Amino acid sequence: MQTIQVGEFKAEFSSILERVQNFGEKYVIEYGKKHKKVAMLVPYEEEKKQRVFGIHEGRCHVPDNFDDENDAINEMFYGAKI
């Protein structure tokens, strides 16, 4: 990541955009005599496709006794019945 002053950024705007686009470079833009960091220029990434809720509906079955306690499993985890 490179740091660049606003004046230099304005003067070389097109070439900086080319480097961001072609090489994925990132820039922190500084402003003023105290070099206050005010912005960051990073490569644009397309938004990822949203996942659709319920896409596998009807493809699996959860048994009615899914949440029932099992003494053997409880004994393995806790060492005794709860």
Please state the pTM of the whole predicted model: 0.55
Domain ranges, residue 24:
2-41
**Long-range pairs, 32-36, Cβ under 8 A, ≥24:** 35/3, 35/5
Is there a domain that residue 58 lies in? Answer: no
Q: pLDDT tens for residues 18-65? A: 999 999 999 999 999 999 999 999 999 888 888 888 888 888 888 898
Q: pLDDT tens for residues 12-26? A: 999 999 999 999 999
Distance CA 72, CA 54 (A): 34
Q: How many domains does the chain have?
A: 1
Is there a domain that residue 65 lies in? Answer: no
Is there a domain that residue 11 lies in? Answer: yes
Distance CA 40, CA 29 (A): 6
Is there a domain that residue 76 lies in? Answer: no
